[in-house]
Amino acid sequence: MRTVVLLSGTGTNFQAILDRAASGSPGIEPVGALSDRMDAQGLERARRAGIPAIAMPRGDFPDARSWWDEIAARLRALSPDVLVLAGFMRILPPELCREYKGRVLNIHPSLLPRFPGLNTYRRVLAAGDRWHGTTVHFVTEDLDAGPRVAQARIRVGRGDDEDTLRARVQACEHVLYPRVLEWMSQGRLTMGARHAILDGSDLSEPVVFEEGQLL
Ligand code: GRF
């Protein structure tokens, strides 16, 4: 499964995918990383892995249209089977969502549909929720609202702050995201009309893992 990762930052999820592909999941074939930031650490991870690292800063283009057109062309040249959003801080335009329908995944640090959007750690603490976590979902034109595939759940403790929550959630992400990609590479996971489909079953609810099951 030719896999292209889109990222804006450190790329620890990308690294977890690279590591899983290199040891134990030969079906996942990372073939490139693309970033909207020149200085994204994730691009360095791609270079180290010997795969194309493409920097596409928005500021290099006169308008959003020409920028996205070039991104689409660069992606096409990599012939991806799947696009993996891993800390990509941009919203995919509808044309790209349509071109790769059912072939774009994202990981979002909350138990969707709770807390779509930004600052999920701050918001979960302010709300006093007892549970937080992360969700892998298919990307559609509706932000953070495509069919959910899997979640990792962590208990919010009295002593938790944004940093401790982030560290625990990300440790779960590094196991969860490669696992979901593995399902896809094995032909077990597809996107249906309303829900994700895993092993022939409609996932009206995502598969939920507890922190202790993943770490
Ligand atoms: C992840 O925690 C993910 O949930 C969110 O962005 C973060 C990216 O981290 N969408 P990294 O770049 O993979 O380290």
Q: Is 133 in the pocket of ligand 1 (CB under 6 A)?
A: no
Q: Which of 150, 151, 139, 143 is nearest to 102 (CA)?
A: 139
Mutate to test the pocket of ligand 1, among 6, 7, 8, 13 (most ligand atoms within 8 A of CB): 13
Residue 97's domain spans which residues?
2-214
Residues of the chain with pLDDT under 70: none
Model confidence pLDDT, tens digit, residues 123-149: 999 999 999 999 999 999 998 899 999
Give me the pLDDT at residue 123, please.
98
Q: Is 178 in the pocket of ligand 1 (CB under 6 A)?
A: no
Between the CA of 9 and the centroid of ligand 1 the distance, in Å, is: 8
Q: Ligand 1: which atom is nearest the Cα of residue 88?
A: 10
Whether 108 is catalytic is yes
Q: With a 6 A CB cut-off, is 27 part of the ligand 1 pocket? A: no
Q: Are strands 82-85 and 2-7 parallel, antiparallel or unpaired?
A: parallel
Q: State the total domains in the chain.
A: 1
Work out which ligand 1 atom sits closest to the CA atom of 41.
12
169 Cα nearest atom in ligand 1: 2
Give the single-character DSSP code of 160.
-
> What is the pLDDT, as a whole number, of residue 24?
85
Alpha carbon separation from 168 to 33, 104, 125, 163 (Å, rounded): 25, 25, 14, 9
User: Whole-model pTM?
Assistant: 0.97
Beta bridge partners of 191: 196
Cβ count within 10 A of residue 203: 18
